[in-house]
Amino acid sequence: KESKMRPYQLEGLNWMIRLQEHGVNGILADEMGLGKTLQSISVLVYLKEYKNINGPHLIVVPKSTLSNWMNELKRWAPTLRGVKFHGMKDEREELVENVLKPGQKDSLRSWDVVVTTYEVCNSEKKALSKFAWHYLIIDEAHRLKNEASMFSQTIRSYETRYRLLLTGTPLQNNLHELWALLNFLVPDVFSSAEQFDEWFNLDIDDGESKKELIGQLHKILRPFMLRRLKADVEKSLPPKHETILYTGMSKMQKKLYKEILLRDIDTVQGTSGGGQGRTAVLNIVMQLRKCAGHPYLFPGQEDRSLPPLGEHLVENCGKMVLLDKLMTRLKQKGHRVLIFTQMTKVLDILEDYVVMRKHNYCRIDGNTTHDVREDHIDSFNAPNSDKFCFLLSTRAGGLGINLQTADVVILFDSDWNPQADLQAQDRAHRIGQKKDVLIFRLVTEHTIEEKVVERAQQKLKLDAMVVQSGRLKDKDKLSNEELLSAIRFGADKVFKSKDSSITDDDIDLILDQGRKRTEEMNEKLKGAEKGDMYDFKMDDGMNTQMFEGVDYSDASTRAAQLGLFDIGKRERKTVDYNKSGVTGQPRDPNAKKEVKFPRHLKLPRMDEWQLYKRFRLEEIQEHELIVFQDLVDKGTFEGLKRNDPTFESLVLLDNIDAEEKRTLIAEGFKGWSRSNY
């Protein structure tokens, strides 16, 4: 079947050709789903067919997109000889010796393009650095945002003539990340991060000066970056419609939610100081988000005397009641559904649910092997496929997967970083989609989840203002008070009632209410744009020290007012990273001993004057906590002692994030005291 490039893709090709002719590197920053892979392959075909340049070219991609890149090469560039450089160490050694053959004359080369991953780039630096690469293409290039990471340092050491970065999200957290990309492309021009920050410091009140600086930035970016949006260039792509659907909590969820808040009263009130207090706050955030997701994420909550695939799986969780109504309607209407969640344990619960309801499904998470992953994608996308839904983890399934045969995306929970959710949505909303795409974001009402969504939507608006409109002022982290405000949000409503707040409304009424509330949030964000978006607070002006006129800082008064269990005198203790015992019941002496988070993975104390990038480090730590909790729940550490080598060598991150964590910790000034600052 003959395929043609779209007009804007041809414009992208011509832009890359002009860059190449002028010896300039660039960033192709088209919105996700506009075919950056195809456009970058097309420039390599141009070089071969019109310039008689056969490489060698190097394409570096996430592991999850490796097969997709090879398939696209075969489809669009059958004359380009591609090599997938991946596999176990012995397989890679064989490829180097028998296929890549460093030092061989170009005329004898049996390949034009090597496609590999970030990890292989690091581990095979010795072999790959022996080539003088004509074109280097890096997919998902925002991975270069930390210029001190191992991958960034390795890839900079390779000899390359031209460099092209592909990213749908050139700005994820702050302006410094944009500098890191520009520094990689044009190190002679963008040599100093400090100078760049000084050039584009918009922390000034003079509107005319800001406007002038924005104009200067656009002039600087114009030669290096091309960015188009779907709404502007892909007129034939059906629109997507996002609706936030709110649900109440079950009686079990409310009980858990209260107990989590009351277990660490002083932390919730912000009276714990230093890095330990900050880490404790993050732990409470994680526990509250788990409670809002499903109470069975806490060991001991599920009644094991009941059938594992019984109605209790739905009835004990507000989101599951809502999801059940929604899935029934979607199946009746002939839709096909992608369901994303951040937690593997939630995927397990969702899998039990779809089996119980006899929905045909596929599943991908971080533990899915490459071959199984490809089989599931092919099975779901096959003509006349009987698969109704696809269960995916947001991070593992958010990149490199084309599932445009689905027309509904359900976000079971939301990410602090909206780009992760956006990438998940774009698995369905991309070229080839024939139907309108419906996005449903599930939110547990009057809980921390409302603030996660509000923060993410606010950040999405800010990113658009920077990249598309030139707004540059930075703010990349939540303050401790903002996190505590998010924790306290809705607590008064939770404490007022012990009964379930799950509605009996039918799905049509729930959808209508969701659309109205989504519109209200969008209007609120539009209003904030007119002022200073960074002054858009998360606490809605609430007095975070008071609940129902009672000073919450007096924990004993608060507990008495609520008529809850006697929590006794609270003792100072180390942070418990596995707060599974939040049931308010006496601990069973025969119960399994709680497993504490490994010491070597904990963050250092990070006082303000030590200049750590605290927000990003805490994001990484939260991900580690979630992975660790999954391992604990699966019984991975059962019977192991604290000093067991398993704990000392435990790794919870992939190579990229682990390297970023090490680098960010090294950048801080651990020995500094307040006087140094």
What's the pLDDT at 55?
78
Q: What is d(CA 350, CA 347) in angstroms, rounded to the nearest whole number?
A: 5
Using alpha carbons, select from 63, 18, 73 the residue that is nearest to residue 40. Answer: 73
What's the pLDDT at 59?
93
Q: What is d(CA 336, CA 334) in angstroms, rounded to the nearest whole number?
A: 7
Q: Are residues 250 and 191 in the same domain?
A: no
Query: Domain boundary residue among 496, 514, 535?
Result: 535
In a domain, 586, yes or no: no
Q: What is d(CA 287, CA 343) in angstroms, rounded to the nearest whole number?
A: 12
Kindly give the interhelix angle for 344-356 and 318-332, rounded to the nearest 10 degrees. 50
pLDDT higher than 50, residue 572: no
Q: Are residues 265 and 220 in the same domain?
A: no
Query: Domain boundary residue among 210, 233, 256?
Result: 233
Taking the CA of residue 72 as centre, how many other CA atoms within 13 Å lie in the half-sphere pointing to its CB?
22
- How, if at all, do strands 546-547 and 240-247 pair? unpaired
Q: What is d(CA 235, CA 570) in angstroms, rounded to the nearest whole number?
A: 61
Q: Are residues 227 and 245 in the same domain?
A: no
Q: Taking residues 13-42, what's their average pLDDT?
A: 87
In a domain, 550, yes or no: no
Query: Domain boundary residue among 535, 568, 603?
Result: 535
What's the pLDDT at 123?
84
Q: What is the pLDDT of residues 505-524, one digit of tens each?
A: 666 677 777 777 767 766 66
Q: Are residues 110 and 199 in the same domain?
A: yes
Distance set, CA 307 to CA 311, 352, 574 (Å): 9, 11, 38
Q: Are residues 266 and 401 in the same domain?
A: yes
Query: What is the three-class DSSP state of 509?
Result: helix
In a domain, 85, yes or no: yes
What's the pLDDT at 591?
47
Instruction: State which residues form the domain around 673.
Output: 595-677
Where is average pLDDT lowest: 300-314, 389-403, 663-677? 663-677
Q: Are residues 350 and 492 in the same domain?
A: yes
Q: What percent of the chain has pLDDT over 90?
A: 3
Tell me, what amino acid is at 433? Q
Contacts from 358-361 at CB under 8 Å and sequence distance 24+? 359/327, 359/331, 359/388, 359/389, 360/386, 360/387, 360/388, 360/389, 361/387, 361/388, 361/389, 361/390, 361/391
Q: What is the pLDDT of residues 611-654, one digit of tens each?
A: 677 767 777 887 787 777 777 777 777 767 666 776 667 777 77
What's the pLDDT at 101?
82
Where is average pLDDT lowest: 177-186, 385-394, 401-410? 177-186
- Burial class, 203, CB count within 10 angstroms (exposed 0-12 / middle 13-18 / buried 19+): exposed
Using alpha carbons, select from 120, 58, 57 the residue that is nearest to residue 93. Answer: 120
Q: For the chain, what is the mean pLDDT?
A: 72
Q: What is the CATH number of the domain that holds 424?
A: 3.40.50.300
Q: What is the pLDDT of residues 287-316, one digit of tens each?
A: 888 888 888 888 778 888 888 888 888 888
Dihedral, CA atoms, 297, 302, 306, 309, nearest 10 degrees? -10
What's the pLDDT at 154?
84
Tell me, what amino acid is at 536? F
pLDDT band at 115 (very low <50, low <70, confident <90, very high): very high
Q: Are residues 127 and 259 in the same domain?
A: no
In a domain, 634, yes or no: yes
Q: Are residues 146 and 278 in the same domain?
A: no
Q: Which residue has the tokens 């804007």?
A: 8
Q: Render 167-206 in DSSP notation, one character per residue.
A: -S-S-SS-HHHHHHHHHHH-TTTS--HHHHHHHT----S-
Distance set, CA 340 to CA 347, 409, 414, 429 (Å): 8, 8, 9, 14
Q: Taking residues 47-72, what's their average pLDDT?
A: 87
pLDDT band at 547 (very low <50, low <70, confident <90, very high): very low
**275: number of Cβ within 10 Å:** 16
- How, if at all, do strands 437-444 and 408-411 pair? parallel
What's the pLDDT at 58?
92
In a domain, 543, yes or no: no
Q: What is d(CA 673, CA 611) in angstroms, rounded to the nearest whole number?
A: 11
Is-contact 11 149, C-beta < 8 A? Answer: no
Q: Render 54-104 in DSSP notation, one character per residue.
A: ---EEEEE-GGGHHHHHHHHHHH-TTS-EEE--SSHHHHHHHIIIII-TT-
pLDDT higher than 90, residue 221: no
Of residues 468 and 367, the one with the higher pLDDT is: 367
Q: Are residues 227 and 299 in the same domain?
A: no
What's the pLDDT at 594?
63
- Burial class, 120, CB count within 10 angstroms (exposed 0-12 / middle 13-18 / buried 19+): buried
pLDDT band at 57 (very low <50, low <70, confident <90, very high): very high
Where is average pLDDT lowest: 129-138, 399-408, 482-491, 539-548? 539-548
Q: What is the pLDDT of residues 413-437, one digit of tens each?
A: 887 666 666 777 777 777 667 788 8
pLDDT higher than 70, residue 247: yes
Q: Are residues 159 and 137 in the same domain?
A: yes
Q: Are residues 402 and 277 in the same domain?
A: yes
Query: What is the three-class DSSP state of 247?
Result: strand
In a domain, 585, yes or no: no
Number of structural domains, the chain?
3
Q: Are residues 266 and 119 in the same domain?
A: no
> Strands across the sheet with 437-444, in order?
240-247, 437-444, 408-411, 337-341, 389-393, 361-364
In a domain, 578, yes or no: no
Q: Does a cis peptide bond (omega within 30 degrees of 0) precede residue 56?
A: yes
Is-contact 502 442, C-beta < 8 A? Answer: no
pLDDT higher than 70, residue 483: no
What's the pLDDT at 44?
92
Beta carbons within 8 Å of 668's beta carbon, 6+ residues apart: 604, 606, 610, 611, 612, 613
Is-contact 136 142, C-beta < 8 A? Answer: no
Q: What is the CATH number of the domain that holds 50?
A: 3.40.50.10810
In a domain, 461, yes or no: yes
